[in-house]
């Protein structure tokens, strides 16, 4: 009798379970095809024609000199360039190089973003310029990984990092676009802003702010013609990262910038480069956050120990 009852229940459940399974398989298939086509649209076809002088004659980049590869790419597209950084001498060198290579107009503004009284200077320097693209690429990090309470001159360190990594992003967007009805803002965050990074805690937190601020701003202004993109790169082979030899996951700046600019208008939050996008998906969707934090802690503890050993030796 019991066996008969089980058979009856299985018979009645067979059809619903079949349709649940069929629906699930169909949904997964449609989702997979959609993601595949979306990936092809972003990483193969791209949107390279969006960044053009139709947005405005001028492009402005807040940058660390030595990380001006986006400026060179924009100059190749015909933009006049406003370069904003601290060292006037180095700004002049980059300005002359851009003018010589691409025959474009340039302008430089020398300010120290560690201070909060520089934005009137920037506003005055940008007066009358039609800024079509703004690149917020200025930022500072730790000299070496360190525990928060062990950082030397901690109060000054906190204030400077907030001024450079956070205040500059908000203030310059306001200065450049308060009267504009269209344009593109590229806020360069970091993969470090995707999750907490122990021993780089303040830096990681400031980059998380840049990401959240950018995505919120994009939602506010995308229907008014202003695209705001949060860019979260992993390592790129530059002097700053001390990576000398490019690899597939650590591209040259030129390769990274070419890939990143093709995503504008397609992703409001991007890792900018296909291998970095895979790394971002793995570390946020597949690996538990506790594991990511633990691995970051171990890696930076090792880097800290090596740095302190070298300092003792000298």
Q: Which residues are catalytic?
A: 203
Number of other CB atoms surrounding residue 292 within 10 Å? 17
Sort strands 106-110 and 80-85 into parallel, antiparallel or unpaired. parallel
**Strand, helix or coil at 221?**
helix
Contact of 267 with 246, CB cutoff 8 Å = no
Of 215, 219, 212, 210, the residue nearest 172 (C-alpha)? 210
Residue keyed to tokens 């201070």: 115
* Strand-pair partners of 188: 231
For residue 228, give the H/E element and its range: strand 226-231
CA distances from 306 to 85, 196, 279, 311, 312 (A): 31, 22, 26, 9, 10
Distance CA 158, CA 146 (A): 13
Distance between CA atoms of residues 13 and 26, nearest Å: 20
Task: Round to whole Å and give the CA distance between 88 and 38.
Answer: 43
Please tell me the distance from the alpha carbon of residue 173 to that of residue 185, in angstroms, as a whole number.
Answer: 8
CA–CA distance, 126 with 114 (Å, rounded to integer): 20
* Cβ-based neighbours of 259, under 8 Å, separated by 6 or more: 43, 251, 272, 273, 274
284: CB partners within 8 A, 6+ apart: 194, 195
60 in helix, strand or coil? strand
């Amino acid at each position: 009798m019991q066996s008969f009852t089980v058979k009856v229940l299985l018979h009645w459940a067979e059809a619903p379970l079949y349709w649940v399974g069929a629906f699930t398989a169909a949904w997964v298939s449609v989702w997979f095809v959609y993601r595949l086509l979306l990936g092809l649209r972003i990483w193969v076809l791209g949107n390279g024609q969006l960044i053009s002088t139709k947005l405005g004659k001028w492009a402005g980049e807040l940058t660390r000199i030595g990380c001006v590869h986006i400026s060179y790419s924009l100059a190749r597209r015909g933009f006049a360039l406003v370069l904003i950084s601290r060292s006037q001498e180095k700004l002049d060198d980059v300005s002359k190089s851009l003018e010589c290579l691409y025959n474009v107009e340039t302008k430089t503004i020398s300010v120290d973003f560690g201070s909060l009284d520089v934005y009137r200077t920037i506003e005055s320097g940008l007066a009358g310029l039609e800024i079509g693209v703004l690149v917020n690429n200025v930022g500072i990090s730790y000299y070496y990984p360190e525990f928060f309470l062990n950082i030397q001159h901690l109060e000054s360190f906190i204030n400077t990092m907030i001024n450079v990594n956070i205040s500059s992003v908000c203030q310059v967007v306001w200065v450049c676009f308060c009267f504009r009805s269209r344009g593109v803002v590229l806020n360069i965050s970091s993969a470090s802003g995707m999750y907490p990074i122990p021993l780089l805690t303040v830096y990681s937190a400031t980059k998380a702010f840049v990401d959240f601020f950018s995505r919120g701003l994009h939602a506010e202004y995308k229907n008014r013609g202003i695209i705001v993109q949060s860019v979260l790169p992993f390592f790129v082979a530059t002097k700053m990262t001390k990576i000398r030899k490019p690899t597939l996951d650590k591209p040259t700046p030129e390769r990274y910038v070419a890939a990143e600019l093709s995503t504008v208008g397609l992703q409001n939050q991007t890792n900018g480069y296909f291998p970095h996008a895979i790394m971002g998906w793995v570390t946020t969707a597949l690996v538990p956050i506790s594991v990511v934090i633990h691995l970051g802690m171990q890696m930076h503890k090792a880097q800290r120990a090596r740095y302190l050993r070298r300092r003792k030796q000298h």
